[in-house]
DNA sequence: TCTATTATTGTAAGCGTTTGCAGATATTGC
DNA sequence: GCAATATCTGCAAACGCTTACAATAATAGA
């Protein structure tokens, strides 16, 4: 007794109208006489009719779903962006197909293709490295794709992020101004442009401004995990670093705890400035000073931008930079400013 | 010059076969002569043909996508489950439509309906409270729905979780055994069965076992936020609580930091046992002792269970309970065990 | 009252695949 | 060399809905 699914045809028959009319009322088309509309609505209600979105997608060539490629949902930074994305998506009646990529280029390409095969109306990509193959896929796709919290050095893809280079530049400059000479730069993989071409570049700029020579020994390249940061303590003290700019909060929490556990107290003996201002910065002790960035908004704005692109609305600026700032918390000393 | 999408028909024409044959090779149907298969494959490659999943979904009545309802991706506990879900889903060639519900019953019902309208092949629900309305939707749906890390007291819905009641019972018993008389119970909303019918019940059982009277003053009902926990300090000390079992890690971190910041040091003057063993427990200082539960696996097993349900495979046990355990870390004193 | 308009509604052709059935080929056994 | 089987292929009908375009009904103007 498999309950038969009720189709638009059933509704039409019951209501004594054509399916075109039913379709119209379902889609809020105004060209329907109020009386007719009510009649149809009643039948829909009675039959508990639910339009089949797949059929609708086939016929209209719109699925009202967008794909979201995320490195790892478990990473609070990306999860925060994802939340912004989903909220706005919902607001515009879109759903999100979420897939983890682990920043694996092959997987990213593959996932993008299945997303496109599913006819998503658009996609939002989060990831710190747009590989050439991926870039190629982006280019040949007619589906709008926007980057969120990520950068593509070629600046050819719509994106929403902050000015990473300037932010790091300013953040490091502040530490330098406070007298720290040995400020380490610890980040994720340097083959990711966001780390090499933006953050590291900003770091170098700050150094240059302060007239300090760039010392490669102070640059630490690791993965984004807490443990990786934690394990950095020895190496950090070995090169006499007395402060560090860290490219990720979880990573930063790791180096902070690693230092503290080794008896090098933060911030007294070692300052730390982290990058993402996730809630982790508040939970950890001492709390971490950080570059601030509107995480939720990056996602939200990216999604909003995507809606415009999907509707072929004109977009003034395809590469939006949201404002960043700084919060001074416990992992940094309170000298001037 | 809108690039025309290439359809199965184009491939058929080019390859000089019928679309049925193309369909067969695309779907790996073995009834195709190798030579024909190769010919088709070549054309597919040359034309860069990508099957339209929507059309496929309409025709086959399968979308290979499952819906996932999550309270909030930003919550590390649920995000961890989600990761397990997505990995297994991907392994079985499914995609995930992820939507945040904020544990809002109305939103949950609404979201479930749009998911079903999109013809997902199954759904995984995370949330601590299955409202009657939602339950009703579950019941009338022919689409399999499994609960992950969540419980439905009626035990009528397939689910994967741990035995919350037993875990809390044991955890609190351990604290009691160490001599704590005033163990507080702090959790999220008590109108959520997981808190009232499971955790609180376990707490009461432990009390009973130890011959200690249940004191309602020791029960704290809040929301799951860090801040809520942080703000609990005064109330907690007001009732002379000397330890607490907390139902959520972020909440627990809040309680711990609140106490510590108020000069009540954990664990010397106040013990804390938390529930979810997320990475937060390791990042915080002191680290938090916790009930351990296989977060990733709960999601993974739930998804695996769902695949079976979607394929009408027989399932021995529709309500799987995964094992839990305990880790002693810094927020708890190291007395016997 | 009659015609020109405008508001409603119906017709039917897709949308791109899957699939049951039937026809066409190729194999195998004698 | 021929019938009986086993393999391959092609046909064409769905799948459930959207949407030009055509048809019909309602309303307005003269």
Q: Quick one: B172 and B259 in the same domain?
A: yes
Which residue, B164, B159, B91, is CA-closest to B299? B159
> To the nearest whole percent, how much of chain A has pLDDT over 90?
88
User: A249 with A287, same domain?
Assistant: yes
**pTM for the full predicted model:** 0.94
| Tokens matching residue B217 | 């003053």
CA dist B267 and B215 (Å) reads: 22
Phi, psi of B24 (to 5 degrees): -60, -45
Mention every residue, 6+ apart, whose C-beta is less than 8 A from residue B311: none
CB B184 within 8 A of CB B243: yes
Rounded-to-integer distance, Cα B283 and Cα A278, Å: 14
User: For B108-129, how does the pLDDT look when each residue is reduced to its tens digit (9 = 90+)?
Assistant: 999 999 999 999 999 999 998 8
Say how many CA atoms lie within 13 Å of B106 toward its Cβ: 0
Minimum-distance residue to C13 (CA–C1'): A59
Residues contacting residue B94 through CB under 8 Å, at least 6 positions apart: B64, B65, B66, B121, B303, B307
The verdict on a CB contact (< 8 Å) between B58 and A63 is no
Residue B313 has pLDDT above 80, yes or no: yes
Q: Is residue A114 part of a domain?
A: yes
User: Is A56 inside any structural domain?
Assistant: no
User: DSSP assignment, residue A216?
Assistant: G
- Per residue in A31-86, pLDDT tens? 888 999 999 999 999 999 999 999 999 999 999 999 999 999 999 999 999 999 99
| pLDDT over threshold 80, residue A1 | no
C-alpha to C-alpha distance for A324 and A151, rounded to whole angstroms: 15
Q: Evaluate the CA torsion angle B275, B279, B284, B287 in order and state its sign.
A: positive
Structure tokens at B329: 């870390």
What pLDDT is stored for residue B89 in this prediction? 98
* pLDDT confidence tier of residue A179, bands split at 50, 70 and 90: confident
Q: Using pLDDT thresholds of 50, 70 and 90, give the confidence band for residue A337.
A: very low
Distance CA A119, CA A57 (A): 9
B105 touches chain A (CB under 8 A): no
- Selecting from A55, A73, A254 the residue whose C-beta is nearest the C-beta of B83 gives A73
Is some CB atom of chain A closer than 8 A to the CB atom of B286? no
CATH (domain of B148): 3.40.50.2300
Positions of E strands within chain B:
65-70, 95-100, 122-125, 145-148, 159-162, 183-187, 219-221, 243-246, 271-274, 289-292, 319-322, 325-327
Mean pLDDT of A246-250: 95
- Interface check for A139 against chain B (CB to CB < 8 A): the answer is no
* Distance of alpha carbon B284 from the chain centroid: 23
Distance from C-alpha of B153 to C-alpha of B236, rounded to nearest angstrom: 30
Q: What is the dihedral of CA B156, B115, A10, A119, to 10 degrees?
A: -150
Q: Do A226 and B142 touch (CB under 8 A)?
A: no
Closest residue to D13 measured CA to C1′: B59
Nearest nucleotide (C1') to the CA of residue B21? D9
Residues of B in contact with A86 (CB under 8 A): 73, 98-100
Most A CBs within 10 A among B283, B287, B299, B329, hence the mutation to make, goes to B283
Q: Which residues of B touch A55 (CB under 8 A)?
A: 58
Same domain for A193 and A279, yes or no, is yes
Co-location of A39 and A82 in the same domain: no
**Cβ under 8 Å to A: B residues 297-336:** none
- Work out the average pLDDT over A87-110: 96
Mean pLDDT on B208-212: 93
User: Does residue B38 share a domain with residue B77?
Assistant: no
Give the closest residue to A35 by CA, choosing from A10, A19, A17, A8. Answer: A17
Q: Give chain B positions within 8 Å (CB) of A102.
A: none
User: Measured from the CB, is B40 under 7 Å from any atom of strand C?
Assistant: no
With an 8 Å Cβ cutoff, is B260 touching chain A? yes
CA B143 – C1' D17 distance (Å)?
21
Say if residue B272's pLDDT is above 60. Answer: yes
Same domain? For A158 and A168 the reply is no
Mean pLDDT, chain B, integer: 93
Identify the CA nearest to A204 among candidates A238, A249, A173, A242.
A173
A303 plus A157 within the same structural domain: yes
Residue A5: its pLDDT value, please?
85
CA atom of A20 to C1′ atom of D23, Å: 14
Nearest CA in chain A to B52: A117
Decide if B79 touches A, using CB distance below 8 A.
yes
Q: Would residue A143 count as lying in a domain?
A: yes
**Using one digit for the tens of pLDDT, what is the confidence trace for A7-30?**
999 999 999 999 999 999 999 888
Judge whether A333 lies within some domain. no
Give the pair of three-digit tokens for residue A332: 């940094």
Are B132 and B86 within one domain? yes
Question: Is B204 within a domain?
Answer: yes
Q: Which of B65, B73, B282 sits opposite A73 (nearest CB)?
A: B73
B119 CB below 7 A from strand D atoms: no
The answer to whether B248 touches B224, Cβ cutoff 8 Å, is yes
Tell me, what's the pLDDT at B179? 80
Considering only CA atoms, which of B117, B185, B110 is closest in space to residue A57? B117
pLDDT band at B334 (very low <50, low <70, confident <90, very high): low
Kindly state whether A23 is in contact with chain B, defined as any CB-CB distance less than 8 angstroms: no
Range of the structural domain that residue A259 is part of = 164-292
Residue with tokens 């007298």: A179
Instruction: Tell me what the mean pLDDT of segment A297-306 comes to.
Output: 98
**Mean pLDDT of the region B221-239:** 94
Least-confidence region, from A253-257, A313-317, B84-88: A313-317
**Chain C footprint positions (protein CB, under 7 Å):** 7-12, 14-20
In a domain, A336, yes or no: no
Minimum Cα–Cα distance from B261: chain A residue: A285
Please tell me whether residues A79 and A41 are part of one structural domain.
no
Q: Cα(A106)–Cα(A251) distance, rounded to whole angstroms?
A: 25
Q: Is the pLDDT of residue B73 over 60?
A: yes
Q: Are residues B154 and B168 in the same domain?
A: no
B302: CB partners within 8 A, 6+ apart? B81, B84, B85, B124, B146, B147, B148, B149, B159, B160
Q: Is the pLDDT of residue A3 over 70?
A: no
pLDDT recorded at residue B233? 95
CA B36 to CA B22: how far, in whole Å? 9
In chain B, % helix, strand, coil (3-state, to 5) comes to 45, 15, 40
Average pLDDT of the segment spanning B169-177: 93
Eight-state DSSP code of residue B199: I
Pairwise CA distance, residues B78 & B84, whole Å: 10
CA distance A302 to chain B (A): 17
pLDDT above 60 for B282: yes
Residue nearest to nucleotide D8 (CA to C1'): B32
Residue at shortest CA–C1' distance from D25: A33
Same domain, B104 and B156: yes
- B20 to chain A, any CB pair closer than 8 A? The answer is no
- Å between CA of A84 and C1' of D4: 67
User: Are B283 and A83 inside 8 Å of each other by CB?
Assistant: no
Considering the domain architecture, whether residues B47 and B103 belong to the same structural domain is answered as no
Q: Quick one: closest CA in A to B93, which residue?
A: A114
pLDDT of residue B335: 55
Assigned domain for B2 exists = no
| Number of domains comprising chain A | 3
Q: Is residue A58 part of a domain?
A: no
Distance CA B17, CA B54 (A): 23
Instruction: For residue B37, give the CATH number of its domain.
Output: 1.10.260.40
The answer to whether strand D lies under 7 Å from the CB of residue A57 is: no
* CB of A286 less than 8 A from some CB of B: no
């Amino acid at each position: 007794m498999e309950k038969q699914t009720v189709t638009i045809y059933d509704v039409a028959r019951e209501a004594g109208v054509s399916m075109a009319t039913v379709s119209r009322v379902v889609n809020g088309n105004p060209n329907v006489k109020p009386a007719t509309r009510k009649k149809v609505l009643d039948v829909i209600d009675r039959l508990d009719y639910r339009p089949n979105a797949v059929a609708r997608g086939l016929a209209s060539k719109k699925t009202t779903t967008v794909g979201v490629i995320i490195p790892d949902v478990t990473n609070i930074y990306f999860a925060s962006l994802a939340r912004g994305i989903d909220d706005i998506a919902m607001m515009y009646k879109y759903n999100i197909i979420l897939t983890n990529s682990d920043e694996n280029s092959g997987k990213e390409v593959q996932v993008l293709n299945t997303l496109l095969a599913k006819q998503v109306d658009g996609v939002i990509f989060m990831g710190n490295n747009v590989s050439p193959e991926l870039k190629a896929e982006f280019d040949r796709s007619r589906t709008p794709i926007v980057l969120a919290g990520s950068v593509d050095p070629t600046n050819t893809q719509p994106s929403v992020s902050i000015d990473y280079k300037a932010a790091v530049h300013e953040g490091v400059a502040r530490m330098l101004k406070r007298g720290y000479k040995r400020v380490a730069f610890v980040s994720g993989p340097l083959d990711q442009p966001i780390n090499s071409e933006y953050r590291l570049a900003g770091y170098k700029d700050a150094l240059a401004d302060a007239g300090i020579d760039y010392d490669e020994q102070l640059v630490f390249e690791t993965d984004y995990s807490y443990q990786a940061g934690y394990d950095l303590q020895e190496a950090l003290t070995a090169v006499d670093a007395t402060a560090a700019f860290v490219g990720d909060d979880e990573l930063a929490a790791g180096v902070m705890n690693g230092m503290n556990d080794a008896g090098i107290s933060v911030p007294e003996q070692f300052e730390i400035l982290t990058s993402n201002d996730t809630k982790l910065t508040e939970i950890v002790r001492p709390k971490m000073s950080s570059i601030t960035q509107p995480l939720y908004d990056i996602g939200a704005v990216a999604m909003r931008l995507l809606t415009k692109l999907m509707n072929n609305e004109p977009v003034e600026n395809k590469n939006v930079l949201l404002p960043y700032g700084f919060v001074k918390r416990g992992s940094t000393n309170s000298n001037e400013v």
